[in-house]
Amino acid sequence: MVKTTIIAETDYEQGAALLKAGELVAFPTETVFGLGAIANNDAAVQAVYQVKGRPSDNPLIVHVSQPDDIFKYAQALTPEKKALIHQLTDAFWPGPLTLIVPVKPDIFGKTVTGGLVTVGIRMPDHEATLKMIAATGFPIVGPSANLSGKPSPTKVEHVYHDFNGKIAGILNSPPTKVGVESTVLDLSDDQGIFILRPGAITASMIEKAVPGIKVNQFISTSIASKEAPKAPGMKYRHYSPDVPVYAVSAEFFADVLRTLSTKKIGLVISESLAKSLDMAEMETYSLGDSSQSATSVLFDALRTLDEAPDLELIMVELLPETEANLAYRNRLLKASVKVYE
């Protein structure tokens, strides 16, 4: 057991000192909290896998504090790729976009990259965290700060719940704004540019920011998908509370609820659906009434209802398949054991 200190945002230098000493420090970003270790300390990076229970073939992304830092770690970039990276970082960094690029050898240990010839890099949009990384003097790894398979953390309490006594510190912050992990964009594939994981930055937004670019989706929104995953992390079941989750579209919600009425069910639904349902005495968590609000609270909703006493089932509204709902649907479908749509 180590003592887990909650570090005030203004004390980011304390976080940096712990990281430099090889300790693990969780940190806030605009997406979800990450579990940080300095990326050139193999033992610390190994400890990240170990405390998360993360499979070792699932590489970590690294977080930098300045856009141009990506050029310190990426290699063999054509002038066109360099220009593209500049356009992307100008438009979206700091922000929820991870870029997969060919990595210079021997800068990050094998543990970081899982032995791949590429690395994922991003600059998170969070002032205290950027200052902490700058003070550390080297990028930090940052998988989401949850036990492997559990919903990602959007509040300091979530991180504390999963890692109290197992990590040295957590940099404090109000809840994260976006609520789901960054968009992962693969720039290392000769076949084209691929979104490997949907996030707040959509293909349309990227295509608008970089005229002439074509962005392909390489994501499985279906839990039944047999596609080979390009992002190693996407093959694992994810985001699941202990209580089973059903994803149900608004259209079928009332019917499914009726057929399951003998069970004690928690509901995660939009305001508009709530108005049309009879949910007397049911544990309910509101998604608000926009794609953004739903996405930002999804993980907190799953964690909150997982802790509610005696629930046998969590029914979550599956929002329609629009581009803005892609990240929400992707995470919810991965968390669900049944889908009604």
Q: Which residues bind ligand TXA (CB under 6 A)?
A: 29, 31-32, 34, 58-61, 96, 98, 100, 116, 118-120, 124, 142-144, 181-182, 184, 196-197, 231-234
Q: Write down the least CB distance from residue 181 to Mg ion, Å.
A: 6
Nearest one of 217, 23, 229, 231 to 114, comparing CA atoms: 231
Distance CA 136, CA 15 (A): 8
Q: How many CB atoms lie within 10 A of CB 225?
A: 13
Among 200, 206, 212, residue whose Cα is nearest residue 186: 206
CB of 314 to ligand TXA, least distance (A): 22
Angle of CA points 201, 203, 208, to nearest 5°: 90
Q: How far is the CB of 313 from ligand TXA (least distance, A)?
A: 27
Q: Based on CB atoms, which residue is closest to Mg ion, 71 or 236?
A: 236
Of the two residues 16 and 184, which places its CB atom closer to ligand TXA in the complex? 184
The separation between CA 98 and the C-alpha centre of its own chain, rounded to angstroms, equals 11
**Residue among 15 and 233 whose Cβ is closer to ligand TXA:** 233
Residue 216 corresponds to which amino acid? N
- The item of ligand TXA, Mg ion, none sharing an interface with residue 273, based on CB under 5 to 8 Å by kind, is none
131 vs 311, beta carbon nearer ligand TXA: 131
In this complex, which beta carbon is closest to Mg ion, that of residue 144 or of residue 202?
144
Nearer to ligand TXA, 120 or 198 (CB): 120
Q: How far is the CB of 327 from ligand TXA (least distance, A)?
A: 10
Q: In the set 31, 98, 136, 144, which binds Mg ion (CB under 5 A)?
A: 144
Residue nearest to ligand TXA (CB): 233
The two tokens of residue 8 are 């005030």
- Of Mg ion, ligand TXA, none, which one does residue 124 interact with (CB within 5 to 8 Å by kind)? ligand TXA
Residue 304 contact among Mg ion, ligand TXA, none, beta carbon within 5 to 8 Å by kind: none
Tracing tokens 């504090």 back to the chain, one arrives at 65
**186 vs 317, which CB is nearer to ligand TXA?**
186
Check if the beta carbon of residue 317 is closer than 8 Å to that of residue 270. Answer: yes
Structure tokens at 218: 């390489």
Shortest approach of ligand TXA to residue 205 CB, angstroms?
A: 16
Shortest Å distance, C-beta 220 to ligand TXA:
12
Q: How far apart are CA 179 and CA 228, in angstroms?
A: 26
Q: Is 135 exposed, middle or buried (0-12, 13-18, 19+ CB in 10 A)?
A: middle
Q: Compare residues 131 and 329 and give the one whose CB is closer to Mg ion.
A: 329
Residue 231 interaction partner, one of ligand TXA, Mg ion, none, beta carbon < 5-8 Å per kind: ligand TXA
Smallest distance, Mg ion to C-beta of residue 284, A = 27
Q: How many CB atoms lie within 10 A of CB 268?
A: 25
The H or E element that residue 267 is part of is strand 265-269
Q: How far is the CB of 240 from ligand TXA (least distance, A)?
A: 15
Residue 201 binds which of ligand TXA, Mg ion, none (CB < 5-8 A, kind-dependent): none
Residue number of the CB closest to Mg ion reads: 144
**Contact of 167 with 161, CB cutoff 8 Å:** no
Shortest Å, Cβ 62 to ligand TXA: 9
Give the residue carrying structure tokens 């856009």: 67
DSSP code for 173: -
Q: Which among 60-68, 142-150, 168-176, 264-272 is the span making contact with Mg ion, rule CB under 5 A?
A: 142-150
- How many Cα atoms are found within 13 Å in the side-chain-facing hemisphere of 321? 6
For residue 111, what are its two tokens? 């543990």
User: Of 110, 126, 112, which Cα lies nearest the Cα of 61?
Assistant: 112
Site residues (vs Mg ion, CB under 5 A)? 144
